[in-house]
């Protein structure tokens, strides 16, 4: 059984890397990937077959090309990328929450999910979220009250989005909101892949007294179609030491507190 679990983890890491390569290069070649990962071409073809079954690539002779869905990594695959950086960012972000009773908001995302896990040991929280995975995990904690928005579930992010979600979140009063983003740029602001998801996350952000954005340095400098809010909407950015000195200085000058995990 442990060997099977290890095999599954390795396969997940390979597939996450394959999806990144598809997004960055527009195609992948089975021979090259098999050599890189140190696996047989038969194993690599099985990986591609699984991704194709999920609508994340289209196989062609000798490799695969991306589908529209593969431009955004599903949460299951994002969990396997930059794990050390995300864990450090999540721990630092969770430490920013003051003691005592708090109402905390969470958008979806792998880093926000990790923050929720860290904070799940607290006994004095009300959690407001549109993320199904966070709601499910926190609801299992008997001393944490969980408020979940309605809405339409997005398979890529497991977030509830759209008018129903926005209407519910607009009624919330949140102390600290942890906002996960897929892109952060001084001019473009906070962005994500989906425009509907971006609007829903913007409502949650607007209901918070303090906004803490969490993003490992791979997200910084990226601009995606869904605009959530300008940089000025956040009070704190928690990231890793991969952030450039120039951007750190620019964010600080803009009044953003930057915490390096």
SS (H, E, C) 140-164: CCCCCEEEECCCEECCCCCEEECHH
Residues 41, 90, single domain; the answer is no
What is the domain count for the chain? 2
Judge if 117 and 53 occupy the same domain.
Answer: no
What range does the domain containing 12 cover? 2-71
pLDDT, tens digit, 9 for 90 and up, residues 171-190: 999 999 999 999 999 999 99
Question: What's the Rg (C-alpha) of the chain?
Answer: 19
Question: Do 129 and 242 sit in the same domain of this protein?
Answer: yes
Does 185 share its domain with 211? yes
Domain of 254, CATH number, reads: 3.40.50.1360
Model confidence pLDDT, tens digit, residues 10-35:
777 788 888 878 877 888 999 999 99
Per-residue pLDDT of 48-64, as tens digits, reads 988 888 778 889 888 99
Q: Do 20 and 41 lie in a common domain?
A: yes
The SS3 call for residue 261 is: coil
- Domain with residue 51: its CATH number is 1.10.10.10
pLDDT tens, N- to C-terminus, the chain (261 residues): 344 444 555 777 788 888 878 877 888 999 999 999 999 989 998 989 888 887 788 898 889 988 865 556 666 555 555 577 788 999 999 999 999 999 999 999 889 999 999 999 999 999 999 999 999 999 999 899 999 999 999 877 889 999 999 999 999 999 999 999 999 999 999 999 899 999 999 999 999 999 999 998 888 888 999 999 999 999 999 999 989 899 899 999 999 999 998
């Amino acid at each position: 059984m442990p060997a099977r679990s290890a095999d599954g983890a390795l396969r997940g890491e390979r597939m996450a890397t394959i999806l990144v390569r598809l997004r960055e290069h527009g195609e992948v070649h089975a021979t090259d990937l098999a050599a890189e990962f140190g696996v047989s071409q038969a194993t690599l073809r099985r990986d591609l077959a699984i991704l194709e079954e999920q609508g994340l690539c289209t196989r062609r002779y000798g490799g695969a090309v991306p589908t529209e869905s593969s431009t955004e990594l599903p949460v299951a695959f994002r969990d396997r990328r930059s794990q050390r950086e995300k864990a450090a960012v999540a721990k630092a972000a969770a430490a920013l929450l003051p003691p005592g009773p708090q109402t905390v908001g969470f958008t979806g995302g792998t880093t926000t999910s990790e923050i929720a896990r860290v904070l799940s040991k607290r006994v004095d929280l009300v959690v407001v979220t549109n993320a199904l995975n966070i709601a499910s995990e926190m609801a299992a904690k008997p001393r944490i009250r969980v408020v979940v928005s309605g809405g339409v579930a997005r398979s890529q992010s497991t977030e509830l989005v759209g008018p129903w979600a926005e209407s519910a979140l607009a009624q919330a009063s949140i102390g600290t909101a942890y906002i996960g983003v897929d892109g952060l740029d001084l001019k473009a602001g906070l962005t994500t892949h989906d425009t509907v998801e971006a609007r829903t996350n913007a409502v949650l952000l607007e209901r918070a007294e303090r906004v803490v954005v969490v993003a490992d340095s791979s997200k910084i400098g990226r601009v995606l179609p869904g605009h959530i809010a300008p940089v000025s909407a956040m009070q704190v950015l928690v990231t890793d030491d991969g952030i450039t000195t120039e951007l750190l200085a620019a964010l600080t000058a803009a009044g953003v507190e930057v915490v390096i995990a």
